[in-house]
Structure 1
Amino acid sequence: MSQQTLPISRILQGKNPREYFDPDEMAELEEGIRVFGVIEPIIVRPIPNTDQFEIIAGERRWRAAKNVFGDQYAMPVVIKDVNDASAEAMAVIENYHRAAMSVAEEARAAQRQLLRHRGDKQETAATMGWSPDVLERRLALLACTPAVLKALTCRQILIGHAELLAGIPPDKQDTVLAGIITHKVPVAALKAQLGQYARRLADAVFDTAQCVGCPYNSARQAGLFNESLGEGYCQHPAHFDELMMKEVETRAQALRDEYPVIRIVKPSDGFTPLAVTADGELGVGAEQYGACKGCQSFGCAVSAMPGSYGRVTPSLCFDAACNSQKVAQWRKARRAAQEVLVVAGQGGGPKAKAAFSGAASSSAGPGQTKRQRSSKPSNQTPQRVIDHRIAQWRKWTAHALMTQPERNRRVLIALARSGRTGDVRVPEFAQAAQKIAGSWVVEDMELASCLRHADAIDIGLLDKLVLAVTAAAAFGVDTRDLELLLNYLEVDEARYFQWDKTFLELFTMSELESLAEEVGLKKAMGADFKAARSGKKPDFVAALLQVPGFAYRGTVPAVMRYPRQAVPAVEAEEGGSEDGVDPRVADGADDLRTPSDTEAALAV
């Protein structure tokens, strides 16, 4: 089988993680290619909508062949159609096993891959063909300053130098680096020097009162010996770092009510903060930013890095893909808004501002589709809120089934026909039966015994107990079928949802702020909101539940609403339907009032 080739002119440089090409190694490679040509094919991928290809792996061979033979040389290639993440991983793997790529370049590539995999180190290592230990060692190098990493890439220092420098504060690294290069300090000598490196107590974020009598306090040493480091140093770095980390964890724990995600950043994490803001080059817009604060991926970082222990970096996004999408949408909205102004020929007056606001909020220009124009802020609902929402939906569905007899019977028929009678939850039915019929032995599951109890029930209670059988299925169906029942029963969330402490305590402070902004509580509170937001969570929750004039009844946050979908409608034949009365009222819905224990036992 013949080897596939492409003219060098059709092959372009790709996103190579390698930044440095050693001149001596390149000269040696060119001599070999001059004699034998390129023996091993390079890996390329097609560039969409062109006849050109981008290099994934093999740029050194491409460069050498281009210098030796020119642009028309038939370059042996292997063509692979892969995405950016896979392309970079393949490039790193090839360079790593060829042992020619700088470990600093590998560290930066590892950091980018880690970001793409949302911080999952196991997945990142597997993608790059590395062991977890190799990944950890490379990421730890990112604690080095850019100057140290550049020196490592350009072969001015060895990896041993860089690994040692990574263990000292960044503001010291460049100074030590200059000495290493100037005096050609061996790794062993540097290790001996830095092994005695002490920690400054002035840098501590923990209470140093405990250090006064410590035997490792340099002040104590200065009082005993002629030679010492002087005052203000800890000579037990490991213990010092342990105390620092304990304090960092304490500070992170104190933020648990503030953010959904709190990330402690260590030197080996390869962490790059991804700030989320309303404005700026990487902004997402004010409305989307409000929604982002209620997202499960919104949070902060607490530094466990030398030189910045305990520092909190707020307003971060921990979902790089989602953040990129939101930034792109906002940029598109701003461009569309500018186009509206240009087309309309408006200046900076009120009409122009209105046009800008309208176009930006719709995220679409004049030529875009209705779907594009209807783009709305979105976020990822925290799982704890989802769990609460589903539990409430089940109660609402059970109550609706108890108060809509005809639809109840139809649901029971549908369950039986689809083989879903197993979704009827026995514990919930038994609890309802006790409330409806009085004495009921929940633990007794024998048919003969249950039949005896059923036969003794007053005939006037039988209809309600049969309704409870169907209603008990609301607690057994899966989420998809639960949403189907909510739609079929036309459940009105406003009738059931209640603003209370239990609901609001599900949210962190940032999520509460997003929620308050969404439903109008923030606007209703006015200047009082800022003061309440700056306090503690219990006080903030209490303030949100006591806003004068706010319509709590009937206001339902988006997070508690179920998705609407088309379902078969009940025929409008039951009492009152022909003269305009809501059949749910005619079925005993008690004029759509709030559910009670006796009205719908299963909803309790």
Structure 2
Amino acid sequence: MLDPSLSTDTSIEGDRYVIALGQLLTSEDQPRKHFNPQKMQELTESVKTHGILEPLIVRPIDDNLYELVAGERRYRAAQAAGLHEVPVVVRALTREEALQLALVENLQREDLNVVEETESLIMLLSLRLNQPVKDIPSLLHRLAKSSDNVVGTADEYVLEQIQDVFQAIGTLSWTSFATHRLPLLNLPPHLLEALRSGQIAYTKARAIAKLKETKRQQNLLKDAIKGDLSLRDIQSRIESLADVPQETSVPEPVYAPSLDQRCADLSRQLRRKKTWNNDSKRKRVEKLIAELEAILMNDDDIKSESSL
């Protein structure tokens, strides 16, 4: 279970110490991946003059070793400034709790870009649900598409855990995340990297992605970054390019289950799920089956008439 207190308190509780930098290990789960070089240099100069004013948050992982939970910018600045030790607050946290705290701490400071925030939330869901990271987007898409929230008992439990995660983070709902954030992960690599490094806004990257040809995307991206083009400027460029023929490319094959396969899958799910124990769900399913039977019956009547 996620700790609700972590969503509001990221620094007060815990034992305070001063430890050597050599006792600190960075976390692979760190939400923030991009550190602005200029701002890092400014922070390093400040640390040289004033030291570390706010303790780093760490968790114990081994004898005399601690994992950094929050404060990696200060940690890096301390290294660059030549410090040998830093003040820390030690908190006994699980990996899941540590990621939640790190994510909340960065969100409160507005330090994360949309890619870092999206990837971190997916990682947090992965830990919470004990499922591979790669399976989380498809799970959210499936649940979001569930008609009138008609889900099985197992999915109801999963949905509760997902809602718990987003309530603890407190920035957006899981449905909004599935609708508006997950699509950015489908952006081409060059646009995704520009987003991750903070070189361009999500709305601009999404607009550039509308160009089908990769080379044109890359050229417009370069111009947008170099010239600090507005979204309107980018859209105007795209409109002007729309009249110019683009290089044709062979689309990648997309797997789509056959109609027969989908019908077979639905049949298996209906036999396996407890839909029939719920009156409202049972009536809805029976109505849909009746509509399907009517469609098939009409199709048979048309075939019979055409054969006369």
TM-score by length of 1: 0.32
Instruction: Give 1:21's aligned residue.
Output: 35
Q: Distance in 2 between matches of 1:84 and 1:2?
A: 19
Residues in 2 aligned to 1:106 and 1:97: alpha-carbon distance in whole angstroms: 12
AA aligned to 1:6 is I
User: Aligned-pair distance for 1:31?
Assistant: 1.5
Whether the 8 Å CA contact 2:56–2:70 is kept in 1: the answer is yes
SS of residue in 2 equivalent to 1:258: helix
For 1:135, give the aligned amino acid: F
Name the structure 1 match of 2:184: 141
2:198 partner SS = coil
Judge conservation of contact 2:23–2:64 (CA < 8 Å) in 1: yes
Of 109, 125, 128, the match for 2:169: 128
Q: Which residue number corresponds to residue 191 of structure 1? A: 235
Contact 1:106 1:138 in 2 (8 A): no
Give 1:384 deviation, angstroms. 4.1
* Residues 44-85 of structure 1, C-alpha deviations (whole Å, 9 max, x = no match): 11114x320001111110111122133x32x22222222222
Q: How many residues align?
A: 219
Q: Work out whether 1:6 is the aligned partner of 2:19.
A: yes
Matches within 5 A, 1:78-477: 78-118=89-129, 119=140, 120=159, 121-132=162-173, 135-136=177-178, 137-165=180-208, 168=210, 172=213, 175-182=216-223, 184=227, 185-194=229-238, 255-258=262-265, 382-384=272-274
Question: Equivalent residues in 2 for 1:572-591 (5 A)?
Answer: none
Following the alignment from structure 1 to structure 2, what is the Cα–Cα distance between the partners of residues 87 and 115? 14
TM-score (structure 2 length as normaliser): 0.58
Distance 1:138 1:384, change over 3 A: closer
Deviation at 1:260, TM superposition (A): 8.5
Looking at structure 1, the residues matched to 267 and 128 of structure 2 have their Cα atoms a distance apart, in angstroms, of 19
Check 1:178–1:107 CA distance in 2 against 1; reply closer, same or farther (3 A cut): farther
Q: CA RMSD in A?
A: 3.9
Distance 1:36 1:84, change over 3 A: same
How far residue 129 of structure 1 moved from its aligned partner, in angstroms, is: 3.1
Alignment of 1:67 with 2:74, yes or no, is no
Tell me the secondary structure at the aligned position of residue 88 of structure 1.
Answer: helix
Structure 1 stretches of 5 or more lacking a match?
199-226, 231-247, 263-295, 297-380, 388-604
Can you list the C-alpha shifts for 1:347-374, whole angstroms capped at 9, x where unaligned? xxxxxxxxxxxxxxxxxxxxxxxxxxxx
The CA distance in 1 between the partners of 2:15 and 2:273, in whole Å, is 55
Q: What 5-or-longer segments of structure 2 have no aligned partner?
A: 1-13, 130-139, 141-158, 247-255, 278-308
Deviation at 1:26, TM superposition (A): 0.3
Query: Whose helix proportion is higher, 1 or 2?
Result: 2
8 Å contact kept, 1:29–1:64: yes
Identify which of structures 1 and 2 has the higher relative contact order when contacts are C-alpha pairs closer than 8 Å and 6+ apart: 2
Structure 1 residues 189 and 124 mapped into 2: Cα distance closer, same or farther (>3 Å)?
A: farther
Partners of 2:194 and 2:200 within 8 A in 1: yes
Q: Could you list the per-position Cα deviations for residues 535-578 of structure 1 after superposition, in whole angstroms to 9, with x for gaps in the alignment?
A: xxxxxxxxxxxxxxxxxxxxxxxxxxxxxxxxxxxxxxxxxxxx
The structure with the larger Rg is 1
Specify the code of the residue in structure 1 equivalent to 2:200.
I
Q: 1:54 to 1:134 in 2, by over 3 A?
A: farther
Identity of aligned residues (%): 24
Is the Cα contact below 8 Å between 1:110 and 1:135 reproduced in 2?
no
Which residue identity does 1:191 align to in structure 2? Answer: Q
**Does the aligned pair in 2 maintain the 1:110–1:139 contact within 8 Å?**
no
Bigger drift between 127-136 and 13-22 goes to 127-136
Quickly say closer, same or farther: Cα 1:178–1:95, change in 2 above 3 A: farther
Q: Is the 8 A contact 1:104 1:141 kept in 2?
A: yes
Deviation string for 1:559-600 (max 9, x for gaps)? xxxxxxxxxxxxxxxxxxxxxxxxxxxxxxxxxxxxxxxxxx
